Amino acid sequence: MGPTSGGQPPRRRSSIIVFVALLAIGLVMLVGRMLARPDVSVGELIVPVLGGAAMAAAIGFIVLRDRRDRAALPPSRRDSQDQGMPD
């Protein structure tokens, strides 16, 4: 019985969509807050938006790398609790 042949459907696709949506909403909120200030022009908005996009990309890269590393583990270790930094 495969992951799509019954039972629960895989949840990876929906979690990626939610993750990207939350990051996009955060960037929209940043732009909205900056535009609401009377002393900020649109030109001054470029650096914070680029910084926010870079941080969102870095977070996304870290999450995807962690998921890939966890998927590469054997099933016995995959579902175990994270032990923190290795010695």
Mean pLDDT by 10 residues, the chain (87 residues): 52 74 84 82 80 84 85 78 68
pLDDT at 4: 52
Chain position carrying tokens 């990207």: 20
pLDDT at 59: 84
pLDDT at 43: 79
pLDDT at 1: 46
With the C-alpha atoms ordered 31, 35, 36, 40, is the resulting torsion angle positive or negative? positive
Neighbours of 80 (CB within 10 A): 8
The answer to whether the predicted template modeling score (pTM) of the entire model surpasses 0.85 is no
Parse the chain into domains and list their residue ranges: 13-74
